[in-house]
Amino acid sequence: MRDDSGVLKNDGTINHRKLGRLISTIEHDRQRATELLASMVSDYPSIVIGITGPPGAGKSSLTDGLIVEYRKAGKRVAVIAVDPSSPFSGGAILGDRIRMSSHNTDPEVFIRSMGSRGSLGGLAPASMDVVSLLRNFNFDIIIIETVGVGQSEIDVMKAADTVLLVLVPGMGDDVQALKAGIMEIADIFVVNKADKDGRERLLAELQMIIELNRRQLDWIPPIVETVATERKGVASLVEQMSQRADFVKKNRDTIWRPRVESQIMQMMQEKTGSDILAIFKGHSIFNDWIERILSGELNLYQVLQKIESHLKISWRDENE
Ligand SMILES: Nc1nc2c(ncn2[C@@H]2O[C@H](COP(=O)(O)OP(=O)(O)OP(=O)(O)O)[C@@H](O)[C@H]2O)c(=O)[nH]1
Ligand SMILES: [Mg+2]
């Protein structure tokens, strides 16, 4: 790998401060991000793990347990804690930092928070960029933690090889409501807080959902019970994840083809969208339309028709 950034020290370890700054750069400057990432071509076999689930389910506690397991195995680990509701980026999502603080002094563990500000073009492309960047610095395991199971989390999770959906007892009804959504994203169900009442009911709900979908699935998501705060079940979770990693390796094309397709679409949309906006914004016609809409002379749809008559997007082949 080519590295002018100084992130990799001479002894092969990571300069955290420099890596943090590089991430800030790619979050804030799309042009620079593209240049940088295009110049870095890594085939390092990082495993990308997405951890999602409702607030307070124990995602960070679980991440902490996973870090411990992976460090025992000598792996280099990065964690990106994505919080769509937080406007802050670069700083710390306080609770997460505290729960993962035991790794603060470990040079082989890098933890970073990302919020919704700072990441132009949305969290999903920004987190994909960060994952691509981390891959270049030989992280064996890259964990992305997000809160919730909305569309933006699903998009963020598209960068992951394996997605853990963390659920807790007492949310049987919520699982019902999520039914379709969770099958779409979960590769492994984690029933955390298995020390609490209601675990049987949640397990039964999950088994039923898996059963209902079994025929459409190539990979049947296992259910793993954990008590993250006591690190119970974490080793068997790691075992299930390693089986999933083998499956992903064997079925790489089938799993990644639709994702690469949607990644390219997403990038094109972002690129064409921002270019067109830049053209319009610099043009007096833009203000003119606003005035005419406000004065009642035009409505939005008439403006849309005008936009369509102004715009002509074409594709030029390189050898033309
Ligand atoms: N009893 C019990 N408590 C747990 C368990 N795992 C986590 N907790 C507690 O649940 C609370 C939330 O844990 P976190 O790890 O911060 O959960 P999270 O999903 O990362 O939370 P957000 O990032 O805020 O959505 C903390 O007080 C933990 O100590 C568990 O297995 N059993
Ligand atoms: Mg958390």
Query: Where are the chain's structural domains?
Result: 16-250, 262-310
**pLDDT tens per residue across span 172-201:** 566 666 666 777 789 999 999 999 999 999
**pLDDT tens per residue across span 54-112:** 888 999 999 999 999 999 999 999 999 887 665 544 444 545 555 566 677 788 999 98
Report CA 201 to chain centroid distance, whole Å.
30
Centre of ligand 2 to C-alpha 289, Å, is 45
Helix (H, G, I), strand (E, B) or coil at 8: strand
Nearest atom (ligand 1) to Cα of 194: 31
Top CATH class of 16-250 equals: alpha beta
Centre of ligand 1 to C-alpha 228, Å, is 8
The bound ligand whose nearest atom lies closest to the alpha carbon of 192 is: 1
Centre of ligand 2 to C-alpha 84, Å, is 12
**244 Cβ below 6 A of ligand 1:** no
Q: Could you tell me whether strands 109-115 and 47-52 are parallel, antiparallel, or unpaired per DSSP bridges? A: unpaired
Scanning the structure block, which residue is given the tokens 């939005």? 300
**192 Cβ below 6 A of ligand 1:** yes
What residue owns the CA closest to ligand 1's atom 32?
193
Contacts 24+ apart (CB under 8 A), 155-159: 155/122, 155/123, 155/124, 155/266, 156/50, 156/52, 156/82, 156/123, 156/124, 156/127, 157/50, 157/52, 157/185, 158/124, 158/128, 158/259, 158/262, 158/263, 159/48, 159/50, 159/124, 159/127, 159/128, 159/131
The bound ligand whose nearest atom lies closest to the alpha carbon of 193 is: 1
Do 159 and 131 meet the contact criterion of CB atoms below 8 Å apart? Answer: yes
What is the chain's pLDDT, residue by residue, as a tens digit (320 residues)?
445 678 989 888 999 999 999 998 888 887 888 899 998 877 788 999 999 888 889 999 999 999 999 999 999 999 998 876 655 444 445 455 555 666 777 889 999 888 765 445 567 778 888 999 999 999 999 999 987 667 777 777 888 999 999 999 987 566 666 666 777 789 999 999 999 999 999 999 899 889 988 888 889 999 999 999 999 999 999 999 999 999 999 998 998 898 889 888 888 887 888 788 888 888 888 899 999 999 999 999 999 999 999 888 888 888 76
**Angle 176-179-184 from CA coordinates, rounded to 5°:** 160
Pairwise CA distance, residues 107 & 171, whole Å: 38
Stated length of the chain: 320
The bound ligand whose nearest atom lies closest to the alpha carbon of 149 is: 1
Which DSSP helix (H) or strand (E) runs through 83? Answer: strand 77-83
Phi, psi of 227 (to 5 degrees): -125, 90
